[in-house]
Structure formats: structure tokens, C-alpha cells
Structure 1
């Protein structure tokens, strides 16, 4: 019954041959599918910024392996910066489009090494540690995108921080070769040390078409209001030395000068002030008995006595920051870190981030011709106000000056606020240090005696419909250095206040509060907009008081409270 020649105890003889053929087929098919799944998964889950992250490193091998781009001698050169550029004329805001997070998208060009026809690099230093840190921070931020088609703002990987290290013509040619340059439209360039001898221009000399410039030494002649961004000159001491915060209050010295490259006329005037005021003023200079190097940069001397720098800055209430060959000075950052109130004598200098920071709360700006009156001017400032300024100076450094990351991201936030003004940070967010939250206090022994309040005073102006008189009053009040905010109480229920575009331009927040009933007592209502302890209540027809008189009144209020 059984065909034993065709069948064995293990089954039909033809089946093993079919299994082998199918096994090879299925194994091959499975392998192809598996490799496809693995490849798909890798592309799906591999970090999109891996290439750009690898670019921003000081690893010499990575920098060395960056593509070499040779610039033809006849490469086009951009035009010099257009001084008439504004956000609505030289920046394509439509490229930014609608963004549910109200954040601009920033693309950083891949790292490249540009050389001329002879192979000579356009920069003598290549990628600096400082610029590498800034690009790395931007790559790690919510602003960054690796998709060039989604980008609203473009940042070259060409290091322009120090013009001294650049070949100006070749650098301009390299910028023009960038794939998305388009005459610099929507491009942002960072520069901290502009110009060169003998003129030391206050803006980068590299031709840059319409590109925005974040510059560290702008003057009123080169700064394009609302377009460029004035940034600080970074101090490398910030990364190498941790200076603990010191509590505000009186210090050993009243005024201290620590810069080593001061013009001889200014130094002569400081010497005269030193003779008149004795130990209240400490005038330091570089140490002639120390060998040059990194160690000597952290020392200052006076008549053979050596002081540690920048630690000595913490021993003074006020620290002088004079202009040097360049307007922007790294000394400003050192002074802020020490919690010393900077006394800035640099005519026409655009202070860092002055578009959003209220420097009246953290510094004293004195015209250069008034240097001889500096001691008298500073002595007129009440002690309590000095303490507020010391505290504010230190916070400015921590929030905006302390690292290349802070400088870079603050610059992008300012540009972001221009593009999405409805989501912009408020004056208070930019200028008020974060207060201690009650829930974060563990012990009642450390509770403040009173809730923390913002420094300065709030002016509450009661008005009905005298628009011209109102504008005169608030314009004069806005000139008071200690003014923190203006609150206009609109007491007319039958008439709307003027449109926002018609109000005088202010450097402090202006809030208009409409009342439900016409009462004179509305001026004394504790509106939520009032965030200071001191309040000035004034009517819209009090036009005889000057800014100096109002400032004097506020100072007297501080002395007797």
C-alpha cells in the first residue's frame, strides 16, 4: 500500500528541496524588509540638528574637515551698509509667517573655510571660542531650525566678532557667496570689536548690504534705530572667574577707575579729582612691575600696591567706564558683574540692549565734558537709590551680559519682539528682576518685612479731556530719571482717549486706565498697574514743575521714608 521508494519515515522526498528554496527566498525577503525598517527608523528618529551641532565645536578635527571654499578674485562685493534700513524696508517679515509659538526660526549656515585664490584664509583666527559658544547656544534654543526653507533669519558661520582678525574685502566676498544672501536680506551679523586704527569706526567696516548688525560699539551716527541691535563687548573674565554677588550698600571707595588705556587728558582729570577727594577715589592703572600675560590682565596697581581685578571693583560704589579707542568697552561687563554702578562717559555711545533696557536704573551717564563735575554729581544721588542701582547692575549682568549665550539669545529675543509685537516682552519683564515667590521660602525667618516692589516711582496723572496740556505734563515727567511708569487715569466716560500713535514717545511704560465714574478721588485708587512704593499723583494742568524738581522731590521722599 505504501510506495516506500518515494516516501521515507521523514516524509515525501521532494518536500525538503522545496523548503530549502522557499527558505532562501523568505530569508532574503525578510532581510530586505528588515533593513528597510531599520533605515526608515534611523531617518525618522535621528536628530535633525546632528549635522549643525557637530559643526559648532572647537574640536580641531571637525573645523579642519569643514569644506574649503576658494574665493575667485573677481567675486562680487556687497554694498556698504544702508543707513536708511529699517525693519519695514530691508527685512522681509513675510518670510517669518504665522507661528503659533510666536518665535522666529533661525538657520545657521554650515561651517566653511573661506580662502582667496592663493589659499590664504579670510580670517587669521578662524572660529573663536566665543562665537562657537554663541552658535551652540542658538542651536540648542527654541529659535533654531535646521530646515533652511522654514528660516526667518539667517546667521553666517563666519566669525565677525573681532574685525582685527578679518580681511575686510575677502570677508565681504564670502558673505556674498552665501546661498541665501540676497543682498543681506534677513541676515544677522555679530560684531563686538569694530573698526581699526587709526579711525576705529563704530560699526563693522565689512560691506554687508542690508544685513542687520548686532554691534558692540555703535554711536548715534552709525546705529540704525529699530533695525540694528547694540550688544555688549563680552568680557572673557566672565567665563574664567566666578565673582560672588555682594549685597548692595556702602563700599570702601566711592569712585574707582580701573581702565588701563585711558586717554592722557582723561587720566589727568581723574588725577585732579583724586587730589581733591583723597581716599574716596581709587585710580588704578596697569602694573609696570609685572610681566605681560594672562596673569597681569587680572592685576591693577596704584603706587606700587597690587590689586586683584576684577575683585577690586566690588569695593567701590561707582566705577568709571570711559571711552577708549572704541566706544564699547569690556570693562562695562566687569563693572556690572561686580555690582558696581557704572559711570559711563562716552558721548554718543548706544548702550547695550538700550532698546529694551532702562539704563537709568543701573548706571549714571555723564557727558565727557562734565568729567570734572563727576564727584559732585554722584554725591547728589541718595544712598537708597545707589543701592537700588547696584542691585539692578548685577542683575543686568546675570540676565544679559554673563555669557555669549545670554548675549546671543537676548539679541534674538529683541528681533523676535519686533516681528511679533503682540507677543513681545513687557518693560517689566525686561527690567524687573524676578521676585521671590512666597511658596519658595522654606522658613518664615527669611520672609521680607514688606513685599518686594519695583524701584523708582509711578506717576498717576488724572485727566478729563485737556489733551494738549496732558501731553505737555507727561512729556516733562518722562524726563525724570527715577520714573518707572506713567499711569494716565482717563476720567471722561463720554469720550475715548487718543489713539496710541498720537501719544508722545516714552522710554517708560505708559498705561491708560479708563474709569467708570468721573470722580476726583480716582487718582488715589490702588490700580494694579502701580508696582512701586512711591507714587506721584498729579493733575493734567500742572505744567510748571520741571523734571529736576520732580527728581529732587523723589530723592527727598527716599531720605525720609
Structure 2
């Protein structure tokens, strides 16, 4: 085999391939040598015509000509010039972009200014519209303009009253000078100093001291006798002095007439006789008191002037207030004894009168002797005791009877011993004096007082007796009043009462005792309130808490919270067009006194305060808003109704238009607070936000508060107390209050729904987080429970609506012991408010929406995550039950959701609330 044979070259490649490669290389070399000089010449010629490049770069031209250097230099200068122009253009472009950005900012600012101006214009238009509407409403009423009456004080010597036929025929219309007490006078009362008259030295020191302390704290007392409406004189209880006896009736009458403002007949004077004992002196019986009214616990029929004199209760707690925690609970309903009575009869009235009564009185008693049922009562009650059908305790003799008036049943033993028996009694018998001429007695008043104090339901045998303040207090709600002839049916009557009725009467008796009889201050306040109500003068307005504002910087534009619900094209209310509107105040000043007298006297908190508004005001019938009484009403669709936008455009409902105030309590959580305030931006029907700054350290100087388009009032507090949440701040100008924690997240639609629900249940707490009180079977006590439940009894005030009326009651009427415990634990203020409202209304709260609790991303851990928090709340509940005497909370098993929530609607209709 040949080495180079077979068409293979020396390199191992075929011969044909090598031949082709050589031919290609030869062609390329020929091309470079022939055509490249021609192309280069053409190129240089062309460049030369345009200025040409530098010859040093290109070298000599083909044909021996060199490239001139000036052409290249010119080209470089052009390049540098172009580069410089490009830099200048870039700087100019950047400058123009900055100017455009500045102009865009100015455009945005102008747009915001235009939007703000539009909003202000819409608000002004709405103010004008609302003013025109209010003016039309006012003109439609066609009421004359009212002005305060001019107060005319009569001359000292000539009161100008027609004299009555006799002092015994005195009534308010004939013996009281109304000219000294105009409706707007404020009811000023002048109290004589007990050291300014002679018999003041004989007054019981304890009574005198208690009376002086009560006078000092009374808001109606004045030091100016020339403007006084009423003059108060303390005439008893009198004690005998070792050196000399108390003044006789004739001497006392002379001393009364010598009083500097007696004015010949004592009109507008009230002689107050306070007794601490069951055997009280009726030394005013033979004293001519003229036109002065008498307030005491014992009256004979010939002495008592119906509608003019006052039957008052004995002064048991003269210097010390009762301990409410020692009062026995109101449950169980039935106690050891069905009823009890301990007493002993006293001799007849005729043989024991302190002085011989007038001849007419003696003749009347002889001609018409009173019917005596005492023997029948004794026999009947003993028969019930011997029957052993029920366990009763009756005793008609005493080892140590207390001194009492004639024909009256004397009290047995010491007060402590009597209270122990009454604590084991379901009912306590109060037998009226045997002689009907004794219409009121201190002994009966003492029995009545002690029974209500410990929760024994009084059973008064004898319908002729005058119970304290009987003209205003409905005693039938707290006591059973039975004529003596029905004593044989008494046992059957008492057995027939249901547990519900008995507990209601026991609760009412506790209210009457606490409000009118428990302290010397209450006794004096009740005497003055009785007279003030009788002459129809309104009570003094209840005080409000002055809000000391903390200056703060505003201006941070509030953003939009991404957590808020998307309501689509459905607005929640006219937020841009409704100006701030404060709730009308004191529209029913005189109605409370003239029309609501009995409700004021027989329901908590009593008649001592005038409130600017209450949740119990009457509601007009539906057609009234269209037929003459439409002031302030904004019906949905003008009365035609509707859903969606028609529903959101007006509040509707059964009461006139109104707004609400957010009260937010905070403590050193500035960032959390600012976020919560921003979430209130654009909230419809919001009047203002009151931030209760509970920290002793003021807000940071550089803290910028959000601008939500409404006032944010930051209130300084005297101390760190959760009770500050419920103070009735004067900055709150609406009836509705939304109490909300600074870390609570609520959507606008949830808030609006809660507000609309509250407007239909104004006397209740309406809110979101529900809780309930559970019974601990093992320990026989109450527990606080926050688990999910189908039954609840509390709505926490961390997010709830309530009426400002309850803020007054919480701060000034509710027992102080409850507020003290809230301060001690720094806890339980929400439970205390639920107790109060349920106690007043006997209704459970209302929970709205499905929300059970709150989640606050980024917030510090709340106190409620600590186990001690729940232990404290357990203690609070059981302590509050002790103070009230029973468990006021009531269970409820329903929740409120909006109308049409799950209803399928036509395409042209919209639901009231999209997510509720």
C-alpha cells in the first residue's frame, strides 16, 4: 500500500480538500491586493470632501497622497462640540423635569384645595339648608317667643296673701307665697342657725350635728335670706337640760314668731322635727305654727294638714352612714320565717296625751270611738303560728319594750336584735296604732325603715296610716298595705305572692331606703325635694365635668385605612354635607317635675337632679312627624322609605336627627392612638372625638395629630383612673356616646350600624364584644367568662354606644365603693357600667354584628392576656353583687344584624349594609 496513495495527502487529509483550500487563499490575497486600495481611496476621497480625517491616522493615500491632519482635528472638534451640546441638553432636560415635578405638586395641592373648598362650600350650603329647614320648622310651630318670668319679691311686712280661715285649713294655694319661688329661681333655701334661737340649746346634739353637716353640703342652701324661697327651722328633737326644762308650747310659739323672717305668720317656713327614737315628742301639737309647714314623723289627725305638712322618716343613722356591704342579699327569695312581728301594746290615747287637747277634739273622740282590731290581730296571728303551715314568729310581749306613743305597738329590745330577726324574715308586719286619730307615728316609721334596710318586705296592717312622703312615693310597689279587717286573710295573701313579685318589692324597698332614708343628708334632700316638687320648681341641673383641654398640633392628613370595608358605590351617610349638630338640652325642664313626678320619685336615681336629656323621653307616633310635629325629623325617602342610597341618605327612625361623640381612653400609646384616630376619618354622623388622656405625662411636643375634618378634644385628667372613661365631660354635646378603646379596630359600616341600632334602644348598651357572667357551682359564686357563647349578659364598653345619662349616674349616683374598686384593680369599669345600666333598666345589653373580640396588629400585649386580669374580674363581679344586693345582669340570646343582610334583592336595589 502506497503512503500517499488513495487520494490522501501527507497530513492525512484528502488531496482534493487541500487543493480547494489553496485556491481560496489565493483568491483572498488577490482581493486584498487589488480591491482594497480602490475602496480605501474612495473612502478617503469622500472624507476629504467633508473635511477629511487626520493624515497621521490614515497614512498616505494610495497613489502617494497623504491625508491632511486638519480634517481629523475638525472631526474631533465637532465630536466635542456635539458632546457638550448633549450635556447641556441633558442638564436642561433634568431642569425641565424638576420644574414639571414642582408644577405637578402645585397641581395636586390646588386639587386638594379645590376639594377642600368644595367640601366647605357643600358644608356651608348644608348649614344654610339646615338653617332654612329649622326656620321653617320653627315657623310651622307658630309658638310665641318665651322669656324668663320677672322675679318679684314681696315686701317683708305685706306678703299679700289672703288669710285662711284657720291655720288647720292651710294648703299650698292659701298659705304658701309662690311669688318668692318663680320657676326659674333655682329654689334657694335659707336655714336658720340653731344658735340664733333660744330652744337651740335643747336640741339633740347628734341631730343638730347631722343636720348642720347635711345643710353644709346641700346645693340649694343660700346665705342671703332676702332672696330665699324657703326658710328651714330645726325645732327638734328636744332634750331636757339639767338646769331647766325645754320651752313649753306657748313659749315655743312666741320664740317662733320672734324669728327675723317669720313675717307675722311664718309663710314659706318649714319646721323640721327630726327624731332618732320611736318615742318622739309631739310638742308642736298644741303650738300654732301659722302658715309654716311642719315636717315630722308623728302626727295626730287634728294636727296634720294634708298636702301641706310632711310625714318624714326617723333619723336612724344620724352621724354614720350605713355599711351597704353588710346589708343582707336580696336572694334567696324566701327566708326562714314567712313573716315576723315583735311588739307590745301601749295604753289608750285618751289617758296618755301630754296635754289636754282642745275641747272639740275631746268631744270628737268621745262621740266616735275608734274601732280596735288589735285583739283580732293577736288571735289570728297566733293561730297562724300554731298551725305550723309556715314558720312564723310573732311575739306580743317584750322583756324590755321601747317607749312608744299611746295605742301604738312598742318596739322590742335593741335595734341590733331586731335586725337579726328581720334578716331571717320574708315579710315584716307593721301594725298601725290602734286609734285612728294617730295618723303617723315614729314607731311605725322605725319598723318600716328597719324592714327595708335588711330586705324584709313590709306588710302594713291599717290603711289609714300616712307613710313617709306618701303623696309622691308609691308605697304599693315596695310594701303590702292591708286594711285591718282583712287580717284573717293575711296568711293566704302572703302565700299567694310569686317570687318575681316579692323580689321586685324587695328591690324597690332597697331603692327607697337607699335614696330617701339611709342618711341624714338623704333625709334633708328628700324634705326639700318634696316641697320643691309640690310647687313645681325643677331640680338643679346635674353637674358636668369641665374638660381641661391639652393643646396639640393638628394638620397631619388622615389617610384611608385599608382594613375598612369596601362599600362600593354605597355611601354610609352624608359625611361631606352634615355640619356638627349638638343634641338639644333641657327641653323637658318642667315636664320632669309636672308630668313625670311619680316616675322620678319611684325609679332610680330619684328626683334630686335635672338631666339635660334622658333615654326615657317619650317618642312621638309615626304620623306626627308628617302632621305638625316634624321638627328635626329626617325620614328615609321623605317618608316613602327605601333601601340602599335612600336608606343611607337619612337616619330615619323614631326620633329627630342626631350625631354621636367618640370618647377614647388612652395611656402612653401615641402611635396606636394616632392610627385609631385616622380610622375615624370620614365617619358619618360623628360630632367630635374626645380623647381622655389618662397619662400624667403630656403628649410629645412633636406629635402631629391627624386632621379628620372634625374637632379632636384632648382632655387632661387629674389621675390615672379607668373611671375617667365615663365622666360626663362638658365637651360631649350629644346624647349618644361611642366608647372605644384606642386599639379597637372597627369598620365604618359596623359603627354606623351600631349607631342606628342604639337609636332604637336608647336606654341600653349597644356594642360589639359580648361577655357573660357564669355560675361557679363548686364555689357558689359568679365568674366572668369571655368564651364564645350563645348567651351573653354584658357588652364591653371598649366598643359600645350608651347614653350620656349613664355617665352622670356612673360618676355621681352609683355607689362610691364600686368606683373605688375600679381604681384599686385598674380594671372592671366596663363591668361596672353594665351592672349600672341593667340595674336601672332591668334589661340586657344588645350585641350587634358577629364580631366577638378585637385584633390589633402591632399593638403591645393587652392586659386581658394576663391571667390575673380574669381573677380580678371574678372578684369585681362578686363585689358588685354585694353592693347592689343582687345580680342585676340579665341574659340575652339574640344578636342584631341588619335588615336585608341575606335577602336577595333585584338588580336595581341595594342592601342597607353590604357586610352586616
Q: Label 1:203 to 1:96 Cα distance change in 2 as closer, same or farther (>3 A).
A: same
Match of 2:227 in 1: 150
Residue pair 1:258, 1:285 contacting (<8 A) in 2 also: yes
Question: 1:110 — aligned with what?
Answer: 193
Measured after TM superposition, the shift of residue 94 of structure 1 is 0.7
The structure-2 alpha-carbon separation of the partners of 1:364 and 1:136, relative to structure 1 and needing over 3 Å to count, comes to same
Quote the offset at 1:287 in angstroms. 5.9
> 1:272-421 counterparts in 2 under 5 A?
272-277=383-388, 279-284=390-395, 288=399, 296-298=413-415, 308-324=417-433, 327-328=440-441, 329=444, 330-420=446-536
Q: Deviations over 1:402-423 (max 9, x none)?
A: 1222111111012112223525
Given that 2:204 and 2:236 are in contact with CA atoms closer than 8 Å, whether structure 1 keeps it comes out as yes
Q: TM-score, normalised by structure 2?
A: 0.35
Residues 103/237 of structure 1: CA separation in 2 closer, same or farther (3 Å cut): closer
Q: Which residue of 2 aligns with 1:93?
A: 178
Deviation at 1:361, TM superposition (A): 0.5
1 CA distance for matches of 2:251 and 2:176? Answer: 25
Shift in CA distance, 114/410, structure 1 to aligned 2, threshold 3 Å: closer
How many residue pairs end up in the alignment?
A: 358
The 8 Å contact of residues 207 and 274 in structure 2, kept in 1 or not, is answered as no
Q: Which runs of 4+ in 1 moved over 6 A?
A: 161-165, 199-203, 289-292, 439-443, 447-451
CA positional deviation for 1:310:
0.6
Alignment gaps of 5+ in structure 2? 1-163, 348-373, 404-410, 538-589, 606-614, 616-762, 774-783, 785-790, 795-840, 844-916
Note the aligned Cα RMSD (angstroms): 4.3
Q: Which moved more, 1:243-252 or 1:358-367?
A: 243-252
Paired residue for 1:250? Answer: 334
Instruction: Give distance in 2, aligned partners of 1:352 and 1:397.
Output: 11
Cα distance in 2 for residues equivalent to 1:298 and 1:441? 49
Helix, strand or coil at the partner of 1:355: coil
Per the TM alignment, residue 89 of structure 1 is displaced from its structure 2 partner at its CA by: 1.0
Which of 137, 140, 143 is the matching residue for 2:217?
A: 140
Distance 2:495 2:301 in 1: 29
| Aligned with 1:430 (options 591, 596, 601) | 601
Q: How far off its partner does 1:316 sit?
A: 1.4
- Distance, in Å, in 2 between the alignment partners of 1:246 and 1:261 is 32
Indicate if the aligned counterparts of 2:343 and 2:398 stay in contact, CA closer than 8 A. Answer: no
Alpha-carbon distance between aligned partners in 2 of 1:441 and 1:363, rounded to the nearest angstrom: 40
Shift of 1:255: 0.8
User: C-alpha displacement at 1:388, in angstroms?
Assistant: 0.7
Separation in structure 2 between the aligned mates of residue 388 and residue 160 of structure 1, nearest angstrom? 35
The one of 243, 260, 274 aligned to 1:179: 260
Distance 2:498 2:383 in 1: 25
Aligned match for 1:232, one of 290, 298, 313: 313
- What is the match of residue 19 of structure 1? none
Pair 379,218 (structure 1): closer, same or farther in 2 beyond 3 Å: farther
Q: For 2:388 and 2:285, how far apart are their aligned partners in 1?
A: 40
Residue 215 of structure 1 is matched in structure 2 by 296
Asked if structure 1 preserves the Cα contact closer than 8 Å seen for 2:190 and 2:224, the reply is yes
SS class of match (2:194): coil
Native 8 Å contact 2:472 2:598 kept in 1: yes
Task: Please say if residues 314 and 338 of structure 1, whose CA atoms lie closer than 8 Å, have aligned partners that are also in contact.
Answer: yes
TM-score by length of 1: 0.55
Query: 1:553 maps to what in 2?
Result: none
Relative distance call for 1:215 and 1:442 in structure 2 (3 A) is farther
Distance 1:441 1:180, change over 3 A: farther
Give 5+ residue unaligned stretches, structure 1: 1-78, 116-121, 300-307, 452-530, 534-561
- String of CA shifts for 1:292-345, please: whole Å, max 9, x gaps: 9x995136xxxxxxxx33132121111001124863221110001111110012
Shift of 1:149: 0.8
Instruction: Indicate the structure whose relative CO is greater, using CA pairs within 8 Å and at least 6 residues apart.
Output: 1
2:271 corresponds, among 181, 189, 210, to: 189
| Shift, 1:348, TM fit | 1.8
1:386-441: per-residue Cα shift (whole Å, max 9, x none)? 11111111111011111222111111012112223525263222112359974999
Q: Distance in 1 between matches of 2:532 and 2:379?
A: 45
The Cα of 1:286 is off from its aligned counterpart by 6.9
CA contact (8 A) 2:210 2:319 kept: no
